[in-house]
Every structure is written in C-alpha cells, then in structure tokens.
Amino acid sequence: PCFHIQKSMQPLASANMELNDGNLQTLTEVLRKTLDPDPTVRRPAEKFLVSVEGNQNYPLLLLTLLEKSQDNVIRVCAAVTFKNYIKRNWRIVEDEPNKISDPDRTAIKANIVNLMLSSPEQIQKQLSDAISIIGREDFPQKWPDLLTEMVTRFRSGDFHIINGVLRTAHSLFKRYRHEFKSNELWSEIKLVLDTFALPLTELFKATIELCQTHATDVNALKVLFSSLTLISKLFYSLNFQDLPEFFEDNMETWMTNFHGLLTLDNKLLQTDDEEEAGLLELLKSQICDNAALYAQKYDEEFQPYLPRFVTAIWNLLVSTGQGVKYDLLVSNAIQFLASVCERPHYKHLFEDQNTLTSICEKVIVPNMEFRSADEEAFEDNSEEYIRRDLEGSDIDTRRRAACDLVRGLCKFFEGPVTAIFSGYVNSMLGEYAKNPGGNWKHKDAAIYLVTSLASKAQTQKHGITQANELVNLTDFFVNHILPDLKSPNVNEFPVLKADAIKYVMIFRSQLPKEQLLQAVPLLITHLQAESTVEHTYAAHALERLFTMRGPNNTTLISSAEMAPFTELLLNNLFKSLALPGSAENEYIMKAIMRSFSLLQEAIVPYIPTLIGQLTHKLLLVSKNPSKPHFNHYLFESLCLSVRITCKANPATVGSFEEALFPVFTEILQNDVQEFLPYVFQVMSLLLEIHSNSIPSSYMALFPHLLQPVLWERTGNIPPLVRLLQAYLEKGGATIAASAEDKIPGLLGVFQKLIASKANDHQGFYLINSIVEHMPPESITQYRKQIFVLLFQRLQNSKTTKFIKSFLVFISLYCVKYGAIALQEIFDSIQPKMFGMVLEKIVIPEIQKVSGAVEKKICAVGITKILTECPSMMDTEYTKLWTPLLQALIGLFELPEDDSIPDDEHFIDIEDTPGYQTAFSQLAFAGKKEHDPIGDAVSNPRILLAQSLHKLSTACPGRVPSMLSTSLNAEALQYLQGYLQAASVQLV
C-alpha cells in the first residue's frame, strides 16, 4: 500500500534472547532494580522488562532464575514477574500481537508442573496461579495431560507435593463456582470428574486415617489439615454446578467424614494467635460452606444428613468465642443456618418459640456487637472498614451473616422475630440513655438490629427498596438518628455518627423528602469530621441523595433547594480532601462530581477557584496513579467544570486550556498510560467547544497523536479517534494547508484500524470525518488506495459490523463527491466493480444498517445513485435500478435486520462498543451525535420523491416503465405515498 506506515505498527518481530549466563546475569540485575524504592531506578527497570516481553526465551530465562538463582529474593521476584507476564500475555487476542512464541508455550507447559511441585511454598503459590491462568485458556483441549500428570502425584506420599497439586487444582476449578452453564463447561467438568473424583475421594479417606495415626504429631497434623481444607474446597467447586453422580453415590463417605471433622477438637491444633484463623477453623468454615451448598441445592438428597449437621453447627456456634480468628467460621456457620431456615422443607426445625428465642439470644445478638477489633479497624484501618461495611466486600463479617440470618428467619417468622428483637432494641437503647459515654456500643448494636430487621430488599441504586411493615423507620429516625446528626460536636462518638449517616443513606427511599432535606446541611457539616469513616460516609450519603429521582424524573433534590448550602457544600468537600487519610478519597471525589452535576450553573462563580484545586490534585496523582476510581471521578469533575462554564460562556474555554494544558503536557511527556485516554477525552471536549478554527496550541500536538506507540494500546483508540475527529471537524482546511505531510500518517492510522475486527468501526469514524471535513483536493491522490484497502478487508474477513460501516462510508462518499465519482472510482479499480458492489453488498445488506443518522446517510446516498448516475440508466447496470430502489424502500419501511451469521456470534457486533480494556468512557465528556447531512435533508423519503421526479423530467417515460415492470406492489404503494407527500408526479 502507498500509505507510509511507520514500521513499529507491524507486530514486533520477536527477537531471541539466548538462554545463557550473560542474559541470566542481566535479568537478575534488572529484577533487583524493580524492587528499588527509588522510582528513578525502578521505573526504567520495569519498562525494560515490558520491552522484552515479546522476545523468545524470556519466560524460560525467568523460570531458570526462579529455579536456580542463589538469591532467594530474586527467585521470588522472578516467580511473581513470570506469573504477571503469563497473566498479561497468555491469552491470544485477535488483532493483537501474540507475545509468547509457540516453542516457549510448549516448553512452559512441559516444565511448569514439575517446577511448581519442587519449589518452596512462596514460589509454589505463584507458579500454581500461573498454571491456572494457562489452564483457563488451554485446558483441556491444548493441555490434555495436565490432570493425569497431577493425579499421579497423589501416590507420591509426599504432602508438600500433594498440597501443591491440590492448591493448583483448586485455583483451576474454582471458576466452576461462577461460570455460566454451557455444554462446553459440562463436558470439561465431566472430564475432570472422570479423572479426579475417585483419586480425590481416596486421598480424602487416606488423609483422615493418617490424622488418626499421627494424632499426637503436631507438625504432621498441620500438613494433613491443610490438605483436608484444600480437599474440602475442591469438593465445593466440583459440586457447585450440579450434583455429580459420583458424589451422590459416595455421599455417605464424604458427609460422615465432614460431620466427624466438624465435631473434632484437637488441642494440638489450637493456636494462640487472636487474629489469624488456625487450620481447624479454616477447615470447619469450608465444611459449613459445603453443607450449606448441599442444603440449598440438593436438599432432597441431603435430607438424611441435615439434622445432624444442624446440631453440630449449632453447638459450634454456641461454643465459639468472640475472637477475630473465629470470624470466618462463625459467619459461615451462621450462613449455613440462614440458608436452611428459609427453605420450606426445614421450616419445622425453627418453629418453636424457644428455638427462635435461643437463636436470637445466643447467635444473632452476640454477633451484632461492635467488638474492640471493629473499633480498631474503624480508627486505624478505615479503608478496609469502609470496604466491608459499605460495599459488602467478599470478606464475610459476623454482622453481615447475622443480618442474613435475621432476613432468612423473617421469611416465615417475621412477627415473632420482630417482637423478640424489639425487646432487645428497647433495652439496648435504655442502657445507652443511662450512660451514653460508657454504653454507646449498645446503641450501635440497636441501630444495626433495626437496620437488619427493616431491610428486606436492597439495591445499590435505591438503597432499601422493601421494608418490614412492623418497624417504623421515620419515628426511629426522628427519635434516635437525628439527635446524633444534630449534636454540635461532630467528633464525639464517631461510630454512632457514622451509623446515623449510614441510616439516612440506606433508608433514603423510605424516608420522607423533608427529612432528607433536613439531613443535607447536617451531612455537609459532617464532611469536616476527623474520623475518616465518618467524613467518607457523609460524602457517600450526599452523593447517593443527589442521584435520587423525583416524580417527573428530575433529581429529587433540586439545585434551587441546595442554594442556601451550595458554598458550604463545595467548601467542605474540597476541605475534606485535605483531611489525613483522604487525599485520594474516591467517595469525596465522586460527591464533588455529583454536586457539580446537580448544581449546574450554580457552580460557575466558584469554578475559577476550584479548577486550580482540581488541576493541582491531578498533577499530584499523575506522579503515581494508584486509585483508579478517584482518578476517574477527578476527570469527570474536570469535564463538568468545562461543560457547565462553557455552556454559559463559550469564550471561557481559553482559561480552561491555560489551566489544564501544562498538566496535560506533563502527563503526555511522562507517558502516564492510565491517564492518556482521559486526557484525550477532555481535549476533545475542549476542542469541540471552539468555533470553527484550531488554536495553534492544538496544532503543535497534532503530529504526536499519530505516533504508532499510542495506537498500540487498545484503551487509547476510542478517545484518540474522537480527538482526531475533533481536529478534522474544526480544522480540516488548516490540516490540509499547514500539515499536509501528516495526511499519510492519518491514513496510516485508518489502515491499521480497518485491519482489526475489534476496531474497524473506529477506522470508519476516522475516514468518514476525513471525507466530510478535508478539502476534496487534499485527499484526491489517496482515494483509490482507500477503496483498495476496504476491498482487501472485505475479501479477507467480512463481518456484519464491517459491512454496516462500509455501507455508511460509501453512501457518505456519494453524498459528498457525487454518485458519478463513486461509480467511477469503483470501476477504475476493476471494470464492472460498481455493479458487483451494488448487487452483492448494497442491495442484500442495506437492511442491516442501524441508527437514525446512519440510515439517513445511506438513504441520501442511494437516492443519488438512483437519480444522479447516468450509467444506472443506460448500461448493464440498469437491471440493478429497480432492485436498488426496492432495497431503499425496504430500508425506510421494513424492520431492521439484526440477524447475525452463525459463525460470527463471538464477535461483538455493537455499533459503538463502549467499554474497552483500559478505556474508561467519561460520562460527562459525552459527544453529541453528529449528522453530516444536517438540515439539508429533513425527510429522506421526500428527497427520494423529488429526485425521482427530477430524473423523470430529464428522461420522460423511462421511470414509470421501469417501476411498472419490476417493482413489487407493496413497495410501489409506499412510493406513491412519498410522491403524494412531496406533491410531485413522475412523467
């Protein structure tokens, strides 16, 4: 092709790194530098490693180091680097360079299991993860002997090896817990069961026998119990999708032994550590999970075993202490009861009032208490506390499990349970009232109980959506929540303050609007609290309240209602970012974004001050981006500042550029990869605001945007294409005049994108903008080559998405340069090509075009071909005239054809794919849909009628006779309608 495409657009020719001592030495030194705390040493080393990822033997050098290096730190570092390399590169993605050569792939698979089993535990864990990443892609088809190779090691009798196998099997099979059902998955699980179930069961029995033999040898027991825990995890994964026949037949073996292990108490395995769960706790927790799985999914088969499990787990709960080390065990045990009590089958086990009272008293209330460990987390590890409490992270807390049990019990016993707890709540609140300073934890537990009783259904978007009729939420708010929010000292009792804020947030859909409005200024005050949890909750609650919708789909709280507090809100939000521990607090940043969005033009007077604070923050985080959510909301807030201010006064765009460009320049120069897609989006937004010319500051950057290295990262593609489109729209003529030498580079980008199934639509966005906005003479010499490239791609792999984009492109070309130009360019590539395109692509496929603007472009383009292209009237193309008209009427009147050929279901046929790897679309940088035809044609059906009328006056008699002989009756009827609407007739 004639476009000069910079060399590095080709996939890297894989250089070879010899397996020799010199290279091992170099790699050792580089790995050591990656551990250096000084970024000027660390960063270049990390960049070097990324640069050699495509080289053959690189992974084998890493494996050699992790096996043979004398330095343990280097061995572990090589193992972690290897695992991350596999994670990034093993999967082969269409259109992206495959960085791992086939010989390396084969060598890795041949050696990794052995290496993993003979390595020390730290390295074993990394390699075990790597095996499961490879297995995810290659097992079973491309790695058929993986399982047999692993199972044979069970016979070794060496538990270091056996545990290595079990750990790897666990990381390989645990995805069965969350995969969607499919035939492929079933056949894989069946294969695994055939090879693995029997040896696993035999190993389970043998390990239990060994536990009895070595009952007094604590070191042996530690190894055996870690095996039993892994075996129990594998049991869970293999039984998750369905009850396998093998396990049904062997249920007696498994369940009897599980029950035995639950009731076992070996003094030797008890640990003194208060925080970390010991082996005994971990094993029992997993068995509780396994029992809950069977009770929920296979209750008929499990029925004979259920009562003894309920008894064993109940005894476990009543006898287990409050220590942190028991948290997982207790929460899994409670979850077991929760899953049993809501099954109609087992209702009778809980009916007795005494049973209910004793569950409430002995299990639920004690596990609602705020322990000293929770208090420590609240004060010293606020991030983790917030993650558990607000986001319900996967770490099950006792409190969450107790809440689930309350919900489960309320399914059948709502009345009695509410009555029992109301008593508890009142006595707890009474205790608090007697001595707030000493008894504040009683109130905390009371609020927690009320929350768990009242909430039946909850969503992220609306908070609690269904509430227990028996609990009066409004009264509780007025009597017990509001006083805490109103107390003048925001730093007193921070846990209760956080509870109060959370209550408003959770029950926001239940509380009347006037109470929410009463809460808003109080929440704004709490943004100043010293406690990280407290001011974070305040920000989060405000953000959630601001998103609530009112009756006519506007926000529930209006900008006008916020007017008295606007200044304080903005001040306190920005001041809270300066509080210790909250410099990059994503909840505060999200609240800033949401406040801007709610307040709209009310923020304009404050923007000159705030934009300085936002850009300063951006400069700081760009040095070391570590909080992706925070960064995302920061860029959203920048977009909102620009949008809202420039909507009021477009001339202010210049002052934003002055504030932002220095930081953007630094981000681009330092190649801060995470931020580039954002910077391109904000720049597009700024450039699109300019009236029709490009400032010189943008033109200086233009050549850099065509650098191949930017286009190699998929995350940059959508925002860069949009930015180039903005350049073309505002300054096509400027580019043609002052940057003519860059046109081949621009077309080179188009060539790269069009070759990719994933990004071809982006290539079309670009070429459409070039055709629409560049002066025609500036691209004359390239036109034929553009079409040749498109035809090559059509021949090699035509997909529905490509054809839809292709049809829009040729129609736009026709609208822009005329139908004769379109016919001539096709026929200059190959004689009669124009007819072939019409017959094989346009007529059969036009029905697939979707989107109002796209359909309009195609309609106008086809109308021009029908009525402004002489060769359609008097050459062998004439036979296509009526079918083409029929296809156009079909485009107007028939439903869109959204069928997809069978072999294409794996490709994403989205017209405008939104989220791509590492590309985060900024909601507030959104682009309006652009219509290149605009008001020139308001109704394409009328245009067709007028154009046919004009054609028929030029050659009288021809048009009606072509219509009457071959257009079907229905289409003819529609056409008559168009002619009437346009008040014209054919002659």
Q: Give dist(CA 551, CA 702) in Å, integer.
A: 47
Question: Would 126 be classed as within a structural domain?
Answer: no
pLDDT of the residue at 458 = 58
What's the confidence (pLDDT) of residue 342?
A: 86
What range does the domain containing 71 cover?
16-120
The Cα–Cα gap between 163 and 157 comes to 11
pLDDT means per 10 residues, the chain with 987 residues, are: 37 64 94 92 91 93 94 96 95 84 95 93 93 93 92 92 94 92 92 96 96 93 96 98 96 97 88 87 96 94 94 93 91 94 88 92 92 92 89 70 89 89 93 96 93 71 67 91 96 97 94 96 98 98 95 92 97 97 96 97 96 97 94 97 95 95 94 94 96 89 93 92 96 92 95 93 96 95 96 91 96 97 96 96 96 95 97 91 96 88 48 43 87 92 96 93 89 96 94
Domain boundary (55, 89, 120) is at: 120
Query: Is 403 within a domain?
Result: no
By C-alpha distance, which of 258, 198, 251, 249 is closest to 228? 258
**pLDDT of amino acid 392:** 62
| CA gap 928, 935 in Å, rounded | 16
Give dist(CA 224, CA 277) in Å, integer: 16
Cα torsion angle, 691, 693, 699, 704, sign: positive
Greatest Cα-to-Cα distance within the chain, rounded to the nearest angstrom:
108
Asked if 278 and 325 count as a contact pair (C-beta separation under 8 A), the reply is yes
Domain boundary among 95, 120, 145: 120
Final residue of a domain: which of 61, 94, 120? 120
31 in any annotated domain: yes
- Counted domains in the chain: 2
| pLDDT reported for residue 454 | 82
Written as six digits, the tokens of 590 are 């999200």
Q: Against a cut of 0.95, is the pTM above it?
A: no
459 forms beta bridges with: 463
Residue 521 CB burial class (10 angstroms; 0-12, 13-18, ≥19): middle
Which pLDDT score, from 0 to 100, does residue 917 have? 37
Model pLDDT, residue 807: 97
Q: Say how far apart CA 539 and CA 542 lie, in whole Å.
A: 5
In a domain, 555, yes or no: no
Go through 811-830 and write b for each residue having 16 or more CB atoms within 10 A of its CB, e for each that does not.
bbbbbbbebeebbebbeeee
Question: Which residues lie below 8 Å from residue 225, measured CB to CB, with a gap of 6+?
Answer: 211, 269, 279, 280, 283
Q: Tell me, what amino acid is at 676?
A: L
Cα 68 from Cα 64, distance rounded (Å): 6
The answer as to whether 158 is a domain residue is: no
Q: Give domain status of residue 85, yes or no.
A: yes
Q: Is residue 49 part of a domain?
A: yes
Q: Is 467 helix (H, G, I), strand (E, B) or coil?
A: strand
Give the pLDDT confidence score for residue 920 in this predicted structure: 82
* Burial class (CB within 10 angstroms; exposed 0-12, middle 13-18, buried 19+) of 477: buried
